[in-house]
Amino acid sequence: SGLCFRRRTSGHSENRRGGSRLWVRAGSAEDLRVWVESQGGDVTAVRVGDGDRGRGLFAARAISKGEAVITMPMRLALSDGVQLCPYAGAPWSVTLAAAVLRERDLGLASPWAPYVRSLPAETVGFANSLEAAGSAGVPMPEEAMAREEAGVEIR
């Protein structure tokens, strides 16, 4: 069994320190593609690119409704079912972040090295993006605005 993402609608789709070692982001989308395909996955329908909202996957060719866009064996997925959770009761995002950091620290010895090396060096978290959106005059979701007005800080 594995993961399979299908197109559902019609239309068109178009150096960090880790412990004591220097983590160099030398991975590429091509390295990731080769790794996924060498493990039995298929990502030929998509390409990595930069769009209006940052880096993402884009159609590499016409995709029919219902066609599998990406398939990959479940063993390639980092999940809390595969890894031991270092923080009992923690949200899935914390478990995933801990797993990614653990694999990053393993470097090339990690079975997920091609994936981990392809990740962006920095990301903007949801809370940070809300703060930036609010300061830029962009409307924020009502719940976030209520928290902000009440002085509740998300950590």
| Residues 70-82 as b or e (16 or more Cβ within 10 Å = b) | bbbeeebebeeee
pLDDT of residue 62: 95
Backbone angles phi, psi at 51, to 5 degrees: -120, -165
Q: What is the dihedral of CA 99, 101, 37, 30, to 10 degrees?
A: 160
pTM of the model: 0.58
pLDDT of residue 46: 93
Residue 121 token pair: 């060096």
In what helix (H) or strand (E) does residue 50 lie, and over which residues does it extend?
A: strand 46-51
Q: What is the dihedral of CA 109, 75, 119, 35, to 10 degrees?
A: 70
Q: What is the pLDDT along the chain (155 residues), one digit of tens a residue?
A: 444 444 444 333 333 333 323 333 446 788 889 999 999 999 999 998 888 887 788 999 999 999 999 999 988 887 656 556 667 778 888 888 888 888 999 999 999 999 898 887 776 665 555 555 555 555 555 665 666 666 655 54
